[in-house]
Amino acid sequence: MNNQIRLLILTILSSLSFFNPLGFIQEKNSKAIMYVAILLTIILSCFKTIKHTVKYPNYLYKLLAIGIVISVIMPYLYQKQGFFITLQSTLPFIFSLLYVVVLIKSDIPIEKIEKVFVWMSILTMFVFAANLFTAPNYFFGEAKDSVDMSRGIARIRVPMQYIILSFFLSLNRFVEGREKKWLYLCCLSFLFIVLSVTRQYIAFSALFGVMYLMRSVSWKKKIMVFATVFFIAEFVLPQIPIFQKMQEVSEEQKYANNEEDDIRVREYYFYLFDAQANDVTAVWGNGIPSFGNSQWGNYFEKIIEFNHCYSVDIGWGGFYFHFGLLTTFAYMLIFFFAIKSPKHQIYAYTTYYLMFMYFSSFISGPVMFYHQILSISIVIYIVYKQKEIKKNSLMIK
């Protein structure tokens, strides 16, 4: 294992606060470790003797960087929040969004990154299981007074991106290579996705998993599969206690939304219109309020708690509010080009993971968590790195 892989692992783990065993690790300390790990990666890449030219849409990353810088200035101009306070709040997003560029400079082999994905998924499963058996006195993270049992089992809130990534990766590799180890990992990953009792995770994983399996089969087989899926969804899942509870929660939320405006609609309206400082911030972003460190941060925290409107519930809406139109447009285009980019069959999983993250961000928060953005950046690097490998192999032939 070389130093760049060690730094990659350190970057990923520190972005997750090392899963915060016994609640001992402060987030500010883990962020500092992440920054140092990324900076060391940049320094090491400067000493590489062989330079590889991975082509990627660097102009979009320039737009992304410009948009973020402008958004950092906005709170200083309109909310009297200090520039360096805003910069400190924004740094995790800067490092995670631009991590693609760092990886391209460091040129880490894809197969080594994929091994990290697999081990990160297994580690996350272990953390999930440990918390499931120790709830509410969680071994990883902060202890809670009670456990949310509204969905049939304890709802364990653990970062799930590497388990979801493992699901698509192992499904892809099993289909292409038929090795049983990938089938086992795929089934295990989906089991933990179900155990998360998060409807978006389950629905989008199942949807894009089926889409991948159906990408090159005949219409007859597609009809058979969709008929089977419909039968399972209509007659089998309603008999399973976990799914019964999730259905009850959905019905309760539907009833509540009929009594008043849908919560997601209210949150989008709040961040797109009500919370905007003025027309300038509606274009260039409001920046990130620093809770507990500025007057605006404290005020905004009270406002969102009073209105029950949280940017992490509507990822793209929150991203636009904080970073503005330019940055949001650039990042959406980065997703689009990475998804549409041609790929070797063994890297098809990158398309489905990015589609999962892109579409789920309309109704949940992937693009509002820097540790999830980091995983997105790593996958986007693989998309463009594998194009270089494919090109070079054709040139050799």
Find the domain containing 27 and state its range: 3-396
Mean pLDDT of 121-142: 90
- What pLDDT sits at residue 268? 94
Alpha carbons 259 and 279: distance in angstroms, whole number: 32
Q: Say which residue, 75 or 254, is predicted with more confidence.
A: 75
Count CB neighbours of 355 within 10 A: 19
Convert the pLDDT of each residue in 93-102 to its tens digit: 999 999 999 9
- What pLDDT sits at residue 178? 87
Alpha helix (H) ranges present in the chain? 3-15, 27-45, 58-78, 83-97, 99-106, 110-134, 161-177, 180-195, 199-213, 219-231, 241-259, 263-269, 279-284, 295-307, 315-340, 349-360, 370-396
- What pLDDT sits at residue 394? 42
Q: Does 120 score more than 50 pLDDT?
A: yes
Q: Angle CA(281)–CA(284)–CA(290) in degrees, nearest 5?
A: 70
Crossing angle (nearest 10°) for helices 370-396 and 3-15: 150
- What pLDDT sits at residue 42? 93
Share of the chain above pLDDT 90, in %: 67
- 136 cis-preceded (ω within 30 degrees of 0): yes
- What pLDDT sits at residue 391? 58
Alpha carbons 290 and 286: distance in angstroms, whole number: 12
Convert the pLDDT of each residue in 243-291 to its tens digit: 666 665 555 555 555 546 678 899 999 999 999 999 999 999 999 999 9
Structure confidence at residue 396 as a pLDDT band (50, 70, 90): very low
Q: What is the CA radius of gyration of the chain?
A: 22
CB environment 16-37: b (16+ within 10 A), e (fewer): bbbbbeeeebeeeebbebbbeb
Q: Nearest-CA neighbor of 319 among 13, 71, 116?
A: 71
Number of domains in the chain: 1
Q: Say which residue, 2 or 122, is predicted with more confidence.
A: 122
Mean pLDDT of 182-202: 93
Q: Say which residue, 149 or 88, is predicted with more confidence.
A: 88
Convert the pLDDT of each residue in 212-247 to its tens digit: 988 877 777 777 777 776 677 666 766 677 666 666
pTM > 0.85: yes
What's the gap between Cα 183 and its chain centre? 24
DSSP output for 319-386: HHHHHHHHHHHHHHHHHHHHHHS---GGGTHHHHHHHHHHHHTTTS-GGG-HHHHHHHHHHHHHHHHH
Share of the chain above pLDDT 70, in %: 87
Mean pLDDT of 370-396: 81
Asked whether the beta carbons of 383 and 343 are under 8 A apart, the reply is yes
